[in-house]
Every structure is written in C-alpha cells, then in structure tokens.
Chains A and B, each alone.
Chain A
Amino acid sequence: MAGIVTRVRPRTDARSQRGSEEPAWVRGSLIAAGGLFAAVFLVLPLANVFWQAFSKGWFVYIQAIRHPDSWAAIRLTLVVAAITVPFNTVFGISAAWCIAKFEFRGKALLTTLIDLPFSVSPVVAGLMFAVLFGLQGYWGDWFQARDIKVIFATPGIVLATIFVTFPFVARELIPVMKAGGSDQEQAALTLGASGWQTFFRVTLPNIKWGLLYGIILCNARAMGEYGAVSVVSGHIGGRTDTLPLRIDKLYVGYQGAAAFACASLLALLALVTLAIKSYLEWRADAAHAQGQSDVSESDKTPNP
C-alpha cells in the first residue's frame, strides 16, 4: 500500500539523439565564450579584490579594518540594514498581499510604484530626500526647529536606503502569492482561524522561501548601496560614512590596500548572499518538483 516516492529525473545524455541539436563545435565554442566572458568580467575582478586586499600582508589588512573610521562605517552599515530590512519586509509582505489577493482601484498604480525605485537612479533618489529634508529643503526648517537632523545623519541614510531597497521583498512575493491563490486562507477561516492566525500558520509557511530570498537580496542591496546614500550622508568620517562610502574615500585617498580590505568585506557579503540565494532557489525548486510529482497509488475508498 505504502508506495515509495521516487523522483525520476530525465537524464541528459552526452550524445543526444535530438535532430535539433547543434553540432559539437558550436556548443563547445558557445560554452567557451560564455566561460571566458564570466572569467574576465566577473571572477577575475572579484579575485583581484581579495588579492589587492592582502597585497601588503595580513597586518595591513587587519589595521585597515580596525581603523576607527572603518569600524564606524561597518557599524553604521549594520544599523542601517537592521532598520531597513525589517521595514521593507513588513511593507513588502503587505504590498504583495494587497496586490496578489485583492482587486481594488489603483492596483496597477501600486504595482508600478513598487518598481519605481528600480527605475530611478539612486543619485536622484538621494537628491529627492535632500530636497525634502535638507536645510534648504521643504521640510528642513520644521526639522531644524525641533533639532532633528535628517540629512547628513543616520535618519537620512536610512530613508534613502529604504527607498532604494523598497521593491525587493514585494517583487519576490507577488508571483508566489498569486500562484498560491487564497483557497488555503479561506479554508483556515472556515476552520475558525482569525486573520492573524491564518497569516502566521498558513500564509507565512507557504511563502517562506520566496520571502527569505527577497530578504537576503534586500539586505545585500541595503549594505552595498552607494549612490543614494552618498548624496544624503555628507561623508563625515567616523559618523556618516557607510562601508561603500568609506571604501570610496580610502581609494580616492590613495590608500589602495585599505580600500580593498574594506571592499573584501562587501565582496564576502556578496558571496555569502549568492550562496544563500542558490540554496534557497534549490530548495524552492525541490519543493516545486515534489509538488508536481503525483503519487499514484491504489485508491480504495474506505467503508465509513
């Protein structure tokens, strides 16, 4: 009765019999071209970051990272990410929920607005906040009267980063939620669950892989953002420099090894992000493939 679930993957044969297959030399040269391109433009520069970081030895590397201004930059970057990512996670889930499960006036507009930060240059995004909150800006006087610093301070950096990383979570979740429909949520309601219980016990488990994927992308961008932050930060060493700004400052100041040392931290973050992303994609694929494979089994109706 109990069948063993076996997933048969189509084996890709080296010598395919398909008539539409390109000749071997075409495939070979295409793969070689792709590989060469990736090596020259992706792998080599990344390896070079680490190479340059350690070019003057471990001591200089550690020194560069332990410099008070670098430490301050690392801390600020972490603080900004710690505020930005949860905010955009909550926003992303609610926006995706609205768009995927409800029909309302202005839905198309909201969908377009979510994409706005992707289409606006980060520098322009920074300038928008400078115009609003800066000393000469529209709301600048109001904030100055209350002694609240927004521009050239942490709040401005957080605002700019939130704007730039707005779309990541929502864009990941909208297709996942649309595909899921709302039947399971309705089923939970008929079983007595409240809205919150339904969300935490049914919706969230269903979207968790997509959500995690969106969060790590959001985090990577929040930590790596340069353009928008650069405009609102004011570049005050040890106070309003984030890690990317600090790297730029060191590099421009002819401290190449120190710049690359800090850059290696961001590069490392990128590699970790990629690794997690690949893992999550693999998990999601596996879950999807399992969902597709139907277990056919002797199906006898019991006597009640």
Chain B
Amino acid sequence: MSIELRNVSKRFGDVVAVDDVSFSVGDGELVALLGPSGGGKTTVLRMIAGLEMPSGGDLLIRGQRVNDVAVQQRNIGFVFQGYALFRTMSVFDNIAFGLSIRRWSRSDIQSRVEELVGIFGLGGLERRLPHQLSGGQRQRVAIARALASKPGVLLLDEPFAAVDAKIRQELREWLVRLHDQLDVTTVFVTHDQEEAMEVASRIVIFSRGKLEQIGSPRDVYEQPVNEFVARFIGVMNVLELTVKGGVAQFGQLSFPSHGKADGQTLRIGFRPYAIKVSRNPAEYPFRAVLKHVFFLGVMLRIELVTPEGSSLRVRISKEEFSRLGLVEDEPVSFFIREYRVLGGDGEFEAHANSVLPEGFGEGI
C-alpha cells in the first residue's frame, strides 16, 4: 500500500517535532527514515501508524485520508524499538494475538502461526515466553506478530538498535530478503546511516523535524542537497578559506573563489576518497605529513596533517596504499580531485560539485 504525507506537522506543546513534512512511499517500497535522535523520524512513523495524531497536514494510505482513522483500523504492522512482546504470553500467543482479536477461526490461527514460525525460523520455540528468547529471536517474534494478519504496511522503529553488532549485520540482510519475499510496503526508522544505505531502496533524511532530502542511497551520498546531509551520510572534510585576490586561500591550499568578494569566507567540503596522495613531495601541489593509518579491512583510513595544522581524512584501498609505498610520519604531497562549495548556513551553492581544474594551484 502506498503512503503519502502532505505538509504534515506535529507539535508537542511548544515543541515542533515534525515541521511541514511531505513525502510519499510507493507500493512495496523499502524506505528508511534517517536522522539524528530528536530529528522527528519516530514521530513520523508513529503518525503513519496512528499512534500519534498529526497537528496539521494530511496523511494518506492508499490514496485515502487516514488522519481520523483509528490505529486499529489502519491495517498496519508496527514493530516497536524494544519489541514490546506481551511478556505473559508464549511466542505462539504473541503471534496469534492480532488474529484472535480479528476473530479468526482456531484452525486458521493455527496454520497462519505455523506458517510464520516456519518463515521466521522460530520452530520449537512456540511455547517459550519472551524472556526465554535471545534478542534476535525476540525481534523475529515481534516482526512475525506484526505481519500475522497480513497488513499492507510494515513499520519498524529502530529495528536493529537492541541487538548486538554481529547479529545486526545478519538481520539487515535478512530484512531485505524478507521484504523481497513478502512484498509488503516497509518503512523503518534508524539513526545509523550505514544501516539505511544498506537496507533501504530510498532514504528520507530528517533533521530537527524537517525533511532534508529524500532519494536513493546513491543520490543522497553523491548528490547531498546541503552540508547537513553531506556530513550525516558519510564523512566529509571541511575547510574554511579566506578569499584574497580572487582566490580562496588557507595557507598553501587555494581554490577558485567562486564569485566571493575579497575578505569573505569560503567553506569547501570533500569526501575522503576525493584526495590523491603521493610519496613524492613534488607530484601534487599540497604538502602534508601522513600521521595515522587505520586498517578497516579492504579500505584504509589515513590521516594527513597539513602544515596549517588541520587534519584531513583520506580513504584508499589496501592495494593502492602498498602500491604508493606510503609510510607513517613521512611527508607526502596531495591533491583534492573533487570538492563542493558549502554555503555559510549549511546550504550548498548552486555550482556545487565542481572539479578542481587539473593543475590548479601548481606553482603557488
């Protein structure tokens, strides 16, 4: 089922938790609501579920306005952050709860629960109570319970927050496969950008109650609309430069001034992979010292410290690192392949994502 929010707001007293948010989720999509805590994403999820009433705007499910439809009638499945399993009921009774409320026959309940127990790998645990389950099992019971009556929409609030790191990775892949198999419109809330990138087909990014950007993981990573998104999705190096004589400068580093007048500040941002490093101090225009190397598996993170004292994060592959023959605490030269001009208040300039002309800065 499709979901649409039109100018939805939510106020708690004087606090605006969600401010004029509009977006839509297509039938069968898997969408992440991403943002730092307090960003309003959980409130949006709870409004879709009917657990909170919007203070303004319209909420549509399958094209029907549902603002005044009670939570019981919305035909949604909701998975709570702490799972909220009924602690006095067995796994079977937890999954069967919604079905017995809807007055399914005993045999229908039996076969539906058995089916879900099979899908979710909970065989043999039907008689257990929630406190006798591991974290991952509890989560699967919670999802099975939410899906039991075949809702059109599955909503998950921080589904992976309560399980440990090792299981989390498995669960992410599992959720994607589950979504492919069941083809149910799924919206989940997360504060972990990596999780959102990996699981969702589209990401809705919130900050302080406002929708910042909506797009595919690739879109938001490569075409962030503003500095907040750029810095929230992945790492970004940011430099502040002063424009002098038509060129923005920070010590040895200089960039075209992008139309800024002398004396103004220009902020530029660039991703760690946009830096090229060489052991030969003369190969690239800028100098730095290679300070730290962090091994992260296939990729390495290295830290460069410029003579001006700012440190830059660089990401290169293990192969490239050994090919270049880089050594810690040795001087290197570097060059920024690609950068963006950041506005003063976090907004991007229109001509963002400029490519530094080859050779620019040489001889300075």
> Measuring CB to CB, which residues of chain A are less than 8 angstroms from any residue of chain B?
1-2, 5, 183-184, 186-194, 197, 201-202, 205-206, 290-291, 293-297, 299-304
**Residue in A184, A194, A293, A299 whose beta carbon sits within 8 Å of that of B137 in the complex:** A299
B104 CB → nearest A CB, Å: 11
B95-135 contacts to A (CB < 8 Å): 97-98, 101-102, 119-121, 124, 129, 131-135
Size class of B's contact patch? 35 or more
Q: Nearest chain-B residue to A191 (Cβ)?
A: B98
CA–CA, A183 to B130, complex, Å? 14
Q: Nearest chain-B residue to A304 (Cβ)?
A: B178
Listed residue (B101, B124, B173) with the most chain A CB atoms within 10 angstroms of its CB? B101
CA–CA, A296 to B167, complex, Å? 13
Can you list 5 A-B contacts with CB-CB less than 8 angstroms, sorted by A residue number?
A192-B98, A294-B131, A300-B121, A301-B173, A304-B178
> Measuring CB to CB, which residues of chain B are less than 8 angstroms from any residue of chain A?
49-51, 71-72, 76-78, 80, 82, 84-89, 97-98, 101-102, 119-121, 124, 129, 131-137, 140, 145-146, 148-149, 167, 170-171, 173-174, 177-178, 181-182
CA–CA, A194 to B102, complex, Å? 11
B195 CB → nearest A CB, Å: 15
What are the 4 tightest A-B residue pairs by CB atom distance, in nearest-first order? A302-B121, A191-B98, A183-B84, A190-B78
CA–CA, A189 to B146, complex, Å? 11
A107 CB → nearest B CB, Å: 16
A220 CB → nearest B CB, Å: 27
For A300, the chain B residues whose CB sits under 8 A away are 121
Report yes or no: A188 in contact with B97, Cβ–Cβ below 8 A: yes
A204 CB → nearest B CB, Å: 9
For A291, the chain B residues whose CB sits under 8 A away are 87, 131
A41 CB → nearest B CB, Å: 40
Report yes or no: A301 in contact with B167, Cβ–Cβ below 8 A: yes
A295-B132, A299-B136, A301-B174 given; A190·B71 CB < 8 A: yes
Listed residue (B71, B84, B102) with the most chain A CB atoms within 10 angstroms of its CB? B84
**Residue in A5, A190, A294 whose beta carbon sits within 8 Å of that of B146 in the complex:** A190
CA–CA, A188 to B87, complex, Å? 12
Q: Nearest chain-A residue to B81 (Cβ)?
A: A183
Report yes or no: A186 in contact with B149, Cβ–Cβ below 8 A: no
CA–CA, A299 to B137, complex, Å? 7
**Residue in A190, A192, A296 whose beta carbon sits within 8 Å of that of B49 in the complex:** A190
A2 CB → nearest B CB, Å: 6
Q: Nearest chain-B residue to A208 (Cβ)?
A: B88
Report yes or no: B134 in contact with A296, Cβ–Cβ below 8 A: yes
Report yes or no: B146 in contact with A302, Cβ–Cβ below 8 A: no
Listed residue (A193, A205, A296) with the most chain B CB atoms within 10 angstroms of its CB? A193
Is chain A's binding surface mostly helix, strand, loop or mixed?
Answer: loop
Report yes or no: B77 in contact with A299, Cβ–Cβ below 8 A: no
CA–CA, A299 to B166, complex, Å? 10
Listed residue (B76, B86, B121, B148) with the most chain A CB atoms within 10 angstroms of its CB? B86
Report yes or no: A304 in contact with B174, Cβ–Cβ below 8 A: yes
Report yes or no: B72 in contact with A304, Cβ–Cβ below 8 A: no
Listed residue (A2, A186, A191, A297) with the most chain B CB atoms within 10 angstroms of its CB? A191
Q: Nearest chain-B residue to A303 (Cβ)?
A: B177
CA–CA, A303 to B118, complex, Å? 10
Q: Nearest chain-A residue to B137 (Cβ)?
A: A299
Report yes or no: A205 in contact with B88, Cβ–Cβ below 8 A: yes
A183-B84, A184-B86, A304-B174 given; A189·B51 CB < 8 A: yes
**Residue in B84, B137, B178, B182 whose beta carbon sits within 8 Å of that of A187 in the complex:** B84
For A202, the chain B residues whose CB sits under 8 A away are 86
Report yes or no: A304 in contact with B87, Cβ–Cβ below 8 A: no
Report yes or no: B119 in contact with A304, Cβ–Cβ below 8 A: yes
Q: Nearest chain-A residue to B120 (Cβ)?
A: A302
For A192, the chain B residues whose CB sits under 8 A away are 72, 98, 101-102, 149
CA–CA, A1 to B133, complex, Å? 12
For A183, the chain B residues whose CB sits under 8 A away are 80, 82, 84
CA–CA, A3 to B223, complex, Å? 50
CA–CA, A1 to B145, complex, Å? 23
Report yes or no: A184 in contact with B146, Cβ–Cβ below 8 A: no
**Residue in A187, A193, A297, A302 whose beta carbon sits within 8 Å of that of B80 in the complex:** A187
Report yes or no: B78 in contact with A187, Cβ–Cβ below 8 A: yes
CA–CA, A197 to B124, complex, Å? 29
Report yes or no: B80 in contact with A206, Cβ–Cβ below 8 A: no
CA–CA, A293 to B132, complex, Å? 8
Report yes or no: A299 in contact with B167, Cβ–Cβ below 8 A: yes
A186-B80, A193-B72, A302-B120 given; A206·B149 CB < 8 A: no
For B181, the chain A residues whose CB sits under 8 A away are 304
Report yes or no: B77 in contact with A190, Cβ–Cβ below 8 A: yes
Report yes or no: A206 in contact with B88, Cβ–Cβ below 8 A: yes
CA–CA, A192 to B151, complex, Å? 11
Report yes or no: A194 in contact with B72, Cβ–Cβ below 8 A: yes
Report yes or no: A189 in contact with B136, Cβ–Cβ below 8 A: no
Q: Nearest chain-A residue to B169 (Cβ)?
A: A301
Report yes or no: A2 in contact with B124, Cβ–Cβ below 8 A: yes
A297 CB → nearest B CB, Å: 5
Report yes or no: B134 in contact with A190, Cβ–Cβ below 8 A: no
Report yes or no: A191 in contact with B101, Cβ–Cβ below 8 A: yes
